[in-house]
Amino acid sequence: LQALADRTRPGFRIGAAVALGPLAADPDYAQELVGDFGAITPENAMKPQNLSPQQGVYTFEEADALIAAAQSKGMTVHGHTIAFTEAMPRWMQDLPTGSEQDRRASAAALLDYVTTVVGHFKGRLASLDVVNEPFDVDQGTELQENIWYRTFGLGYPLVVSRAVHDADPDVKQFVNENGADVPGDRQAALLELVRDTNARGGHLDGVGLQAHIYDLDTDAISPEDLTETLDTFAAAGLDVRISENDVPDSRGTQLQAEQYADVLITCLSTPTCVSYTTWGVDDRYDWSVDEDGKLQQGHDLLFDEGRPTPAYEAIRQAL
């Protein structure tokens, strides 16, 4: 797939979210990844809860191994993620912020985290989600009141963006969000957040649109809506990554394949849509498997049990 993309749109990356476990243990998975993708997003390995189990303690081994494996095959790496409500270690969530003095200490601890982590990976990341899922869950348009918010207030994305820039001026900075893939209040809020941050001295290069399709009946993305979306961000001078696309085949592999192709083709036709990433490689390790390891929604990704799915063929043809 990446070889086709290189011809269709030089510089454009086809990526996948990847976990070290199957990459190290399953030759099929490794072959699918290496044979087709030109970029990885560590699925969990770079989340704060995995990088810093205790304050001042860092566990970089898994992320380093994943990045080394990707780079040895010529793949670029998208870092995921710095400020993310859902994936913080206990110590970070529990930093006290009741008094001015507390907030100063919390600010120092959070900034130390950013500086240490971004400094550690400096030079190895092409891009990075500096803020992930900033808004209230269930389509909210207000910032989640997480530790970053309680410490730095409404302007926390600016603080994070600046700290990332200080530690690695070359990494492209993104704010990644779900439910902002189509025009609407959530998308408007994301645009405003990024513009406002940059207007006050931030270094955000663009947005990640996750494009998780949970249900083709209710959240299919039409080419028209996505085109309008890409134009909106382009007009604001912002790049877009399709960052976590996956599509269940609950309405049949035909509709699934069409949805995959629609998103990729629309992205490819807009120069500011800089990359396309699926959230996983093979259904057998899909993030939406239940406790018994059964996929909740039939086929979802481009491979299943080591074999390309109809969605793979649709993506191949789209390229």
- In angstroms, what is the minimal distance from the CB of 98 to ligand XIL? 30
Using CA atoms, how far apart are residues 280 and 244, in angstroms rounded to an integer?
8
- In angstroms, what is the minimal distance from the CB of 287 to ligand XIL? 3
Nearer Cβ to ligand XIL (7/294): 294
- In angstroms, what is the minimal distance from the CB of 86 to ligand XIL? 7
Q: In the stretch 81-110, what mask flags binding to ligand XIL with x, by CB under 6 A?
A: ------------------------------
What is the C-alpha radius of gyration for the chain, rounded to an integer number of angstroms? 19
Distance between terminal CA atoms of the chain?
A: 7
Nearest-CB residue for ligand XIL:
287
- In angstroms, what is the minimal distance from the CB of 74 to ligand XIL? 24
Considering only residues 168, 239, 244, 246, which one is a binding residue for ligand XIL as defined by CB under 6 A? 244
Residues in region 141-180 near ligand XIL by CB under 6 A: none
Which residue has tokens 């780079």? 71
Nearer Cβ to ligand XIL (38/42): 42
- In angstroms, what is the minimal distance from the CB of 253 to ligand XIL? 22
Q: Does 43 bind ligand XIL (CB under 6 A)?
A: yes
Nearer Cβ to ligand XIL (13/241): 241
Residues 89 and 49: beta-carbon distance below 8 Å = yes
Q: Cβ contacts of residue 107 below 8 Å, gap of 6+?
A: 151, 152
- In angstroms, what is the minimal distance from the CB of 44 to ligand XIL? 5
Q: Does 287 bind ligand XIL (CB under 6 A)?
A: yes
Q: Does 132 bind ligand XIL (CB under 6 A)?
A: yes
Burial class (CB in 10 A: 0-12, 13-18, 19+), 16: buried
Using CA atoms, how far apart are residues 70 and 77, in angstroms rounded to an integer?
7
Nearer Cβ to ligand XIL (133/239): 133
Nearer Cβ to ligand XIL (109/289): 289
Residues 293 and 313: beta-carbon distance below 8 Å = no
Residues 260 and 223: beta-carbon distance below 8 Å = no
Q: Does 300 bind ligand XIL (CB under 6 A)?
A: no
List the one residue out of 38, 49, 122 whose CA is nearest residue 79: 122
- In angstroms, what is the minimal distance from the CB of 209 to ligand XIL? 11
Residue ranges in contact with ligand XIL by CB under 6 A: 43-44, 132-133, 210, 244, 287
